[in-house]
Structure 1
Amino acid sequence: MIGLAAGMEMADMAWEVKCREEDMKQRALENERHAIDDARRAVDEKAQQLQVVANQGALFAGFSMVVLVESSIPEALNGALLAVFGSAVATTIALFLVSTLNSTYILVAILRYDCVRRDVPFSEFWNKRCEPDWKIALRCFSYGVPSFLLVVSLVAWVTFWEAESGFVSASVVTTISMAVTLFWFGRTDRKWRGFLLMPEARVLTRGMSNTNVRRNGGGKISVPSPTDSSDYSETSIKVEDLKIVTEWE
């Protein structure tokens, strides 16, 4: 009886060890799945941002090109005004074109990122390879908006140059464009450009809701550090062991 009891106890211990090993392996698989999902989510968020900037930049550049091509230039137009008009249109097209091309190239680059193997973390890949070009694209777009409004003002002077009440009409258009430009620099650009140019960590910290803030033992409010979350990189599971679909749905 003693031998039978000892055998049953050994069998129970072996079963517990086996269950624990399977549980650890399952947890490693779950961690890897979460890591892949997080990487895909980060890529998708950046892709949406880049698509917005690229599409809007292409739209503004197209409008500026149409203004340059379709504008009817009066024969008696002042040469200096014509030169300023051409320079403003060319500058506007160049700014939005740089913004669009930078965003497009970055978009293609992040879509090629391997979310499964993740040889380099996506945050590191973005900060080292994409962040500088993203800032250039955003700055070019920001400067392109007032440049486009300048084109709107100049095209009014060019179009109404020979009209009887052309001075009044062009002055009204110029006044409205100047008002929008002042609003752009004083409100929209001032509020959002600096925020969008911040490093991702600072953006997440400043935008964190109160529900993510916890109190420590001394009563002080502290923000959870990134190390508090699960570190997916420490799992020993291999990607080949996953039984999940790795393609984009």
Structure 2
Amino acid sequence: MSLCKGHINKHLRIERFWKESIRLNKSCTTIALRKCDCTLDAGGLVIHRVVYISKMAGVGAILDAVFGSYDLKVTRQWRDEDVRYREQEKQWREDAILREITWRHEDIEREQRLFKLANEKRMIDARQRQLIAVIKLATVLGGFNMAAIVEINVPEHFNQTIMAIYAGIAALQFLCMFICTLICTLLLMAITRFVTHTLETEIRLLETVDLDLVSPFNMYWLMRCESEWMLAYRLFYGGLSFFSMLIILIGLIQFRDSIIARIMVTVLCAATTVFWRLRIASKWQFLVSSPDSIPSTPTSTVRATALSAL
């Protein structure tokens, strides 16, 4: 009996040891130990335990292999997903950079076009001021001529030749100033129509490389308004010359009783006319000269000049 109890106690201790080992194992599978019949044969008990231990080791190896392969598969899948996400993130960054570059180019082009529009309007404003100044001066000289015709006192027995010359020069001076005023007024109307209906469209149709080279208003002025402006300027110059002659004739008529007064008026007006022609008009003669060439297209001459300079 004592021998049997010793074998039983030994068997129970071994069983408790393996239960504790299985409980502490990392595997999530609960393995129930089956009860083994206790025999008095110590050798049989040992053999039974060895077989039992080998079976448990095989199950643990299988579980480790299964969970190891699962972990490897999940890790590989996560790695592939991470690589794909990083590639997509890289593509998103590249697309964002390209969009920012495109938007920056569009902003620069928009600023260039706005600056070009403002510059063209400044040029148009300067041209309008020039035309208005000529109109005002021509109106003043023409009004002075009409006032002189109305207010002058002509004696009954005055020299008819001088009167005919005076009438002709007065009419020519007034007509020159009148036509000059009309032409400048029409040019103002043409410029106003261009800036309100055509300028923005012309600037919008320009290429980006032409924004710093081509001026739509200059092209319009050279092709449509330059010849009329030259005609108005020549008429204005002619009216100034006739105005000097008119002053001489008015002096001859008004100061007919004083020879010294007539001589003084004639000499001063003649000297002023000569000074005007030789000192002032000759210096600014280029203002009444046409440009050498008028390009037929907005970019033909300007691009050729820019490329030759490079």
The amino acid across from 2:243 in the alignment is F
Structure 1 unmatched ranges of 5 or more: 203-223, 229-249
Secondary structure at 2:201's aligned position in 1? coil
Secondary structure at 2:199's aligned position in 1? coil
Q: Number of paired residues?
A: 204
CA deviation after TM superposition for structure 1 residue 7, in Å: 2.4
Matched, 1:172 2:256: no
1:11 to 92, 108, 118: 92
CA deviation after TM superposition for structure 1 residue 124, in Å: 2.0
Structure 2 unmatched ranges of 5 or more: 1-81, 206-214, 295-302
Matched, 1:74 2:155: yes
Mapped partners of 1:110, 1:42: distance in 2: 11
Map of 1:199 onto structure 2 = 291
Call closer, same or farther: CA 1:200–1:61 in 2, change over 3 Å. farther
Q: Which has the higher helix share?
A: 2
Map of 1:134 onto structure 2 = 229
Runs ≥4 in structure 1, deviation > 6 angstroms?
A: none
Greater Cα shift, 40-49 or 57-66: 40-49
Map of 2:43 onto structure 1 = none
Call closer, same or farther: CA 1:196–1:225 in 2, change over 3 Å. farther
The TM-score, its normalising length taken from structure 1, stands at: 0.76
Map of 1:47 onto structure 2 = 128
Mapped partners of 1:116, 1:103: distance in 2: 24
Secondary structure at 2:283's aligned position in 1? helix
1:91 to 172, 177, 186: 172
Matched, 1:156 2:221: no
Secondary structure at 2:157's aligned position in 1? coil
The answer to whether the 8 A contact 2:166-2:246 is kept is yes
Map of 1:116 onto structure 2 = 200
Mapped partners of 1:20, 1:197: distance in 2: 48
**Aligned residues with identical type, % of pairs:** 23
The answer to whether the 8 A contact 2:187-2:225 is kept is yes
Mapped partners of 1:123, 1:25: distance in 2: 26
Give per-residue Cα distances to partners, 1:110-162, cap 9 Å, x unaligned: 0111321127922221112110110011111111112101110100111122x
Map of 1:32 onto structure 2 = 113
Whose RCO is larger (CA < 8 A, sep 6+)?
A: 1
Map of 2:24 onto structure 1 = none
The amino acid across from 2:244 in the alignment is L
CA deviation after TM superposition for structure 1 residue 30, in Å: 1.4
The answer to whether the 8 A contact 2:227-2:290 is kept is no
